[in-house]
Structure 1
């Protein structure tokens, strides 16, 4: 019985025995904190990345849809131009004696300007699609790089032993001190 009482009394002298609190020793808790933070970032980061990609996809699809609408408008303009061309051709038959060559030039100019307009709209659509694809690819690359970097940091932190960890922290503190001296 005396041994039990002595062991209970000795527990009272140990500050960590039987109590709960925050460990403020940053060297002892840093890997735990980093793993918790990385776990939370990965868990919530997937949803954010998915939302960003969905938004990007929506914008690209909207741009494609707008380009298609512009294309349809250009096709309507082309049909109107063709209708107008038919009308001009009928008038050309009526006025062949007075100015056949002038009407022919007007017809060619109308066809050329309409074709150029259609080509420009098609080029604009293709450039817009290409630009949006490149932006989406670049954003995905950046997100993948960030996740890979976070994964590498997690792996690096899991591989550090206490001595290497202390040396790394000391080197970083020295670099921050040098940076602070440079900025002052």
Structure 2
């Protein structure tokens, strides 16, 4: 009795080395047949899956490269657009300042022209009023002289004035 038999008899652990009792030959045959027949089937299936995965990886790498190139181009375009926007903004500020300065200059010129027009109108009105006052003063003086003249001139004085006027006319 060996140690293995002792454990087997007692209901413990035992190793059966008899190939016919353990069905070891059947298992080897079945596993061999399975490996032989399934090797081609499983191998082809695994190869196709591997190729499919490699193709998807290649496609993903190509898309990544394309996306990276597109991103670089978009960033470049964005930088260019930002530069153009900044240039336009600066030009707009400069133009607004020029328009503001031009508007101020025109306003000042318009105000000066209005002032000159007002002064010219004032001077013309003053000249008109002065002329009208002179005319009224002359008419008033003539009216006064005409009113006083008959009382101051007698026939003798009137004859003397007429003779002086005739002498002036003959001498001229």
Q: TM-score range by the shorter chain?
A: 0.3 to 0.5
TM-score, normalised to structure 1's length? 0.40
Higher Rg: 2
